[in-house]
Amino acid sequence: MQEFTKKDCVGIGEEVFLKSRVVVLAPRALPGNHPGQLFFCTGVQGTENPRHSIAQLVSLSTGEVWKCWHRDVIGILKPELLGETARLQLSQIRPFGAKDLREHSPEYSGYSFLPDGRYAAGVWLADPEEAWEYVMMQKDYQHRIMICDRDDFAVLEMQEGQMLFPDVQTLEEFRQTQGHGGIRMA
């Protein structure tokens, strides 16, 4: 197992915002047989003293849900240090607070791709808000992200943090037409 230290992190300390970031846990916070220090933070239960806040995490080694003290987080991992296996595991995490799919029919699926084109199965997303949150939680770590609708048509594509589809001009035109009472058909 690779051991990560503060030098592998950006944002170190108790005031760092951890939600939707890949964090490194101190080895002392892990059982001796745990295969890795990398976790995705889905939220933080705050207290007056940040050292006593509890981070809600998902292990990027095992997929298990964890909780730990904020003080046990070394820092936020530099995105370029996240390995391929961890990126694929991260791509399978639905946004924190995502709707229960037994009660809500998903409208979208989210995919994240490695530079060589490999990807894991798509993740069901219940609505546009969940789809956008998926993009936001993946964008710093994934090479390419695609959101597809129920018919498997791409509705959003981002590569290396840059929006490819829809392009900025299309989004601006859409925003402007919405201010004038609806969508214009050409």
pLDDT above 60 (res 165): yes
- In this predicted model, what pLDDT tens digit does every residue of 95-149 receive, in sequence order? 988 999 999 999 999 999 999 999 999 999 999 999 999 999 999 999 999 999 9
In the chain, pLDDT over 70 holds for what percent of residues? 91
Tell me which H or E stretch contains 68. Answer: strand 65-69
Mean model confidence pLDDT for the chain? 89
* pLDDT at 176 (0 to 100): 74
Instruction: Say how far apart CA 113 and CA 96 lie, in whole Å.
Output: 21
For residue 181, what are the contacts with CB-CB under 8 A and spacing of at least 6?
none
CA angle 124, 145, 122 (to 5 degrees): 25
Provide DSSP, 149-174: ETT--EEEEEETTEEEES-HHHHHHH
CA angle 160, 143, 163 (to 5 degrees): 40
- In this predicted model, what pLDDT tens digit does every residue of 145-156 receive, in sequence order? 999 999 999 999
- In this predicted model, what pLDDT tens digit does every residue of 55-84 receive, in sequence order? 999 999 999 999 999 889 999 999 999 999
Q: Which tokens sit at 59? A: 């292990």
For residue 169, what are the contacts with CB-CB under 8 A and spacing of at least 6?
none
pLDDT above 80 (res 174): no
Burial of 64: CB neighbours in 10 Å, binned 0-12, 13-18, 19+: exposed
SS (H, E, C) 93-136: CCCCCCCCCCCCCCCEEEEEECCCCCECCCEEECCHHHHHHHHH
